[in-house]
Amino acid sequence: MSEMLMKGLSSTKRELEAGVTDAEAELARTEEYCRKLEELIAVGKATLHAASQLPLSQMSQMSKPAEATVVPERAKWPELAKDSK
């Protein structure tokens, strides 16, 4: 093979390897975000179930709402912010 062709192939290989590395890192971040959302959903479901078990009179006596759960910042997940618009 010519030197020019070999140089092009090795450059493409490096670009592909870098792309794979970036994709793997993005997958890891997305998996972590998914775990956090699953945890948030579980807490919400448990809270909803617990609230449904309380008598109505007891619920009206509660003076302050339960501590709110914080959703991960959307700024850290701009690809999700795009989809929601």
pLDDT in tens, 46-78: 999 998 898 877 766 665 555 655 665 665 666
Containing H/E element for 28? helix 3-53
The Cα–Cα gap between 18 and 12 comes to 10
Tokens of 83: 């989809």
In the Cβ-directed half-sphere of 46, how many Cα atoms lie within 13 Å? 8
The residue among 33 and 4 whose pLDDT is bigger is 33
The residue among 19 and 82 whose pLDDT is bigger is 19
Q: What's the pLDDT tens digit per position in 20-54? A: 999 999 999 999 999 999 999 999 999 999 988 98
Domains of the chain by residue range: 3-84
The residue among 32 and 5 whose pLDDT is bigger is 32
The Cα–Cα gap between 70 and 37 comes to 11
